[in-house]
């Protein structure tokens, strides 16, 4: 009905038909007790803390490409295999190409690159044609190169990322945590050349060596610095040099240190602040920030095995005298000795996981802890054992002549 151009609602008002005012919700009750809101807040905070911790631990995987590879690696790693021992009959695997990471075992034989999980499920199997393959790990990727040849391939858990053929023979290679990689090669008119590549395969750094023949290279976790070792002979004396190269600098960079009589043949990073160079007479530990250097001399012992991780370096020695006495030593990243054990038999291989370390001596694997310092137990490795790679603090993969075994401390 309209009145003076105004319109009114003529519907009859029914108070009983109105929607009643919403009642305040009672707290959710489980059994007889209400759950206060502060409990939910605490649970949410704990979830966020866990997510933040996981994110920090895997911060190097949080770039889009690395995050995708990290997820794919975890998906590929699911599943159950037939268990160990696992036969590798018909192939040859060198101890240097037998390593463990993320509780998986990685190995390069004379024909293929293989990754298996703790149940012997095969996660990766890629063929190669290299006559002398060398395997390096970094983050979610693997670098396989032909020592003395010109072929190289970069692998992830789900695909071959890139295959490379370089112009000169390869001397050594390295892989950083975020996918950057480096190759040391021979060079016309120089002692050698270092080329560093981005994770997607672009050349980002070149360095030519004119005074020392390079023997090994290692990249720091962030891929911003390279440690390189080199050797030369002057006046009949063997000289070794350790370089610490800033990959953002185009200037000539002299050696950080030079040593007489110690042939340095390998190098590795201990986390992002220390470098360990391995020689035939002594190991050299360098603080990458302060440039302080510490030598650990071998004395009357011969180095037979070595490895390093973020916080420690492990060394295995045998006696020059021909006796069965051996020594197992662990150094922290300042070069301080934190563990020393006398063993009987030849130490063929050493490995580390977290604060634990292991030595393959004869047919037995001996496990140790460095915090607190002491023996953690032993286990049988088999008479044909060639190498050990720790899966965790109390178990390890063992490389035999024709099979891979998983052993645990007892």
Q: What is the CATH number of the domain that holds 365?
A: 2.130.10.10
**pLDDT at residue 41 tops 90:** no
pLDDT at 18 over 60: no
DSSP characters over 154-213: EE-SSSEEEEEE-SS-EEEEEE-TTS-EEEEEEETTEEEEEEEE-TTS-EEEEEEESSSE
The answer to whether residue 376 is domain-embedded is yes
DSSP-derived letter for residue 117 is -
Task: Calculate the dihedral angle through the C-alpha atoms of 268, 130, 74, 360, rounding to the nearest 10 degrees.
Answer: -50
What pTM was estimated for this model as a whole? 0.81
Report pLDDT for 325: 87
In a domain, 148, yes or no: no
- Residue 116: its pLDDT value, please? 97
Task: Give the largest CA-CA distance in the chain.
Answer: 122
| Residue 19 forms part of a structural domain | no
Q: What is the mean pLDDT of residues 137-147?
A: 96
Domain around 399:
301-410
Q: For residue 354, what pLDDT is reported?
A: 93
Residue range 341-365, pLDDT digits in tens = 999 999 999 999 999 999 999 999 9
The CB density around residue 105, as the number of other CB atoms within 10 Å, is 25
Distances (CA, A) of 398 to 95, 389, 405: 10, 7, 5
Give me the pLDDT at residue 1, please: 45
- Tens-place pLDDT, residues 59-112: 555 555 555 554 555 555 556 899 999 999 999 999 999 999 999 999 999 999
Residue 263 included in any domain? no
Answer whether residue 147 is part of any domain: no
SS3 80: coil
**Helix, strand, or coil here: 54?**
helix
pLDDT at 252 over 70: yes
φ/ψ (deg, to 5) at 138? -165, 115
Digit-coded pLDDT (tens) for 301-341:
999 999 999 999 999 999 886 678 899 999 999 999 999 99
> What pLDDT, on a 0 to 100 scale, did the predictor assign at position 29?
47
Mean pLDDT, to the nearest integer, of 194-208? 96
- The CA-atom distances, in angstroms, between 353 and each of 212, 240, 316 are 34, 30, 16
Contact 312, 370 (CB under 8 A): yes
How far, in Å, CA of 327 to CA of 345, rounded?
Answer: 10
Q: How many domains does the chain have?
A: 1
Q: DSSP letter string over 322-347?
A: S-SEEEEEEEETTS-EEEEEEEES-E
What is the C-alpha separation between 392 and 99, in angstroms, rounded? 12
Residue 194 pLDDT greater than 80, yes or no: yes
Q: Does 347 fall in a domain?
A: yes
Q: What is the mean pLDDT of the chain?
A: 88
Closest to 176 (Cα-Cα) out of 210, 222, 144, 135: 222
Does a structural domain hold residue 326? yes
> Is 359 among the domain residues?
yes
- Provide the token pair at 231: 């050797």
| Distance in angstroms (rounded) separating the CA atoms of residues 38 and 254 | 61
- Of 144-148, 233-237, 390-394, the poorest mean pLDDT is in 233-237
Strand partners, 235: none
């Amino acid at each position: 009905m309209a009145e003076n151009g105004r319109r009114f609602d003529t519907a009859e008002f029914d108070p009983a038909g109105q929607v009643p005012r919403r009642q305040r919700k009672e707290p959710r009750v489980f059994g007889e007790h209400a759950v206060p809101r502060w409990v939910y807040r605490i649970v949410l905070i704990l979830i966020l803390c866990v997510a933040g911790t996981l994110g920090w631990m895997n911060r190097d995987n949080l770039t889009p490409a690395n995050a995708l590879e990290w997820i794919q690696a975890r998906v590929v790693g699911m599943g159950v295999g037939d268990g160990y021992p696992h036969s590798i009959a018909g192939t040859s695997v060198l101890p240097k190409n037998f390593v463990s990471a993320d509780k998986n075992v990685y190995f390069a034989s004379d024909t293929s690159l293989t990754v298996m999980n703790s149940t012997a499920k095969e996660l990766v199997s890629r063929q190669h044609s290299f006559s002398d393959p060398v395997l390096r790990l970094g983050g979610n990727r693997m670098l396989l190169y032909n020592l003395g040849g010109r072929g190289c391939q970069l692998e992830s858990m789900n695909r071959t990322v890139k295959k490379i053929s370089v112009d000169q023979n390869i001397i050594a290679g390295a892989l950083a945590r975020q996918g950057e990689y480096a190759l040391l090669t021979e060079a016309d008119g120089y002692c050698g050349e270092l080329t560093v590549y981005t994770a997607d395969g672009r050349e980002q750094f070149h360095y030519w060596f004119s005074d020392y023949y390079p023997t090994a290279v290692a990249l720091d976790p962030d891929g911003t610095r390279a440690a390189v070792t080199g050797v030369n002979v002057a006046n009949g004396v063997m000289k070794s040099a350790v370089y610490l190269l800033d990959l953002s600098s185009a200037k000539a960079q002299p050696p950080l240190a030079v040593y007489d009589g110690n042939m340095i043949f390998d190098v590795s990073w201990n986390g992002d602040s220390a470098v360990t160079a391995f020689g035939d007479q002594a190991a050299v530990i360098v603080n990458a920030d302060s440039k302080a250097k510490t030598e650990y001399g071998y004395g009357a012992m011969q180095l037979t095995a070595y490895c390093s991780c973020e916080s420690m370096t492990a060394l295995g020695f045998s006696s020059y005298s021909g006796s069965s006495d051996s020594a197992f030593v662990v150094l922290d990243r300042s070069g301080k000795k934190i563990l020393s054990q006398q063993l009987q038999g030849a130490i063929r291989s050493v490995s580390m996981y977290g604060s634990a370390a292991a030595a393959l001596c004869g047919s037995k694997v001996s496990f140790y802890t460095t915090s607190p310092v002491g023996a953690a137990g032993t286990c049988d490795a088999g008479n044909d054992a060639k190498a050990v790679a720790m899966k965790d603090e109390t178990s390890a993969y063992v490389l035999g002549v024709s099979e891979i075994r998983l052993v645990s401390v007892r």
